[in-house]
Amino acid sequence: MTLLTFRFAPSPNGELHLGHAYSALLNQQMAARAGGRLLLRIEDIDIARCTPEFEAGIFHDLKWLGLGWEEPVRRQSEHFAEYRAVLDRLIAEELVYPAFMSRGEIRAFIAETGGRDWPRDPDGVPLYPSLDKALSMKERKRRIAENIPFAWRLDVEAATAHMSGALSWTEFTDETMAATHSVEARPQAWGDVIVARRDIPTSYHLAVVVDDALQGVSHVVRGQDLYAATGVQRLLQELLGLSPPRYFHHRLILGPDGRKLSKSLKDTGLAALRHAGMAPQDVRRLVGL
Ligand code: GLU
């Protein structure tokens, strides 16, 4: 029997908080109960916001919590060439297109055309107006030659046209992994998502599906805030011929105001709690583990 493989995949663009602690400890607990492996992956593709200091903080906090993981740790910023190769496949298959509109242009276009009625993605961000899809190859080449910045966006219409049946994923009903149900993937809800950003040959979605497959991750255990994003990731897996892991999207740890914790909420940061004298078992109790 192959070993079940779990992973905790934080981004070093801020300090870990109670929500991360819950996710990391839950992965540890589920992997231990299944007799499986636990990987740690550093998701640092955003080279402008991720820092070595935040990364060092992650290692420190996780060790303090008592988390153990397999070495070597995969650091996404060291694998841009691999993501580039996968992106090149999507370019060759014409499943992505260069998108030239700047944030300001997107905003102005939407204000002129749809205003408040313009469709939004599950995170509330207006969908990209897919105007660039209509550009001729000649015009695309001209703009690229002129160094006009662009991102590669998924042509979600072309991509879903490839699918024979409905796209779905397998979700565990709870952390005991006793039962699963099938969830319909709705990548269209995100419109033409970014697959590679202006400055780097990947995006969160692309790197995550490539790495989960490459690292043999069988069980993705992560926060409920990424539930809808799984739809896009399932589509990318289908397009790239990658076999999908199973998913468990866990409850989120909320702040005292009932809102999702953010990296700027210093009072629930693990380092701050530690400095205030808290022990790892207090953190476990706080997150209900
Ligand atoms: N790196 C992502 C984050 O920090 C998590 C990615 C995932 O678990 O799929 O939110």
CB 148 within 8 A of CB 100: yes
Residues of the chain with CATH 3.40.50.620: 1-78+253-289, 79-216+224-245
Query: What are the Cα distances from residue 277, in Å, to 272, 273, 274, 283?
Result: 9, 7, 5, 11
Q: What is the pLDDT of residue 258?
A: 76
Rounded to two decimals, the pTM is 0.95
Q: What is the pLDDT of residue 264?
A: 63
Quick one: which atom of ligand 1 is closest to the CA of 229? 9
Determine the 3-state secondary structure of 198 from DSSP. Answer: coil
Is residue 208 within 6 Å of ligand 1 at its C-beta? yes
Q: What is the CATH number of domain 79-216+224-245?
A: 3.40.50.620
- Give me 160's structure tokens: 């879903």
Mutate to test the pocket of ligand 1, among 23, 30, 226, 248 (most ligand atoms within 8 A of CB): 226
Distance 116 CA to ligand 1 centre (A): 30
Quick one: which atom of ligand 1 is closest to the CA of 13? 4
Is residue 43 within 6 Å of ligand 1 at its C-beta? yes
For 124-137, the DSSP string reads SPBPP-GGGGGS-H
Quick one: which atom of ligand 1 is closest to the CA of 223? 8
Listed as ranges, residues in the chain with pLDDT below 50 are: none
CATH of 1-78+253-289, one of 3.40.50.620, 3.40.50.2300, 3.30.300.30, 3.30.470.20: 3.40.50.620
Q: What is the pLDDT of residue 2?
A: 80
Distance 9 CA to ligand 1 centre (A): 5
pLDDT, tens digit, for every residue of 202-213? Answer: 999 999 999 999
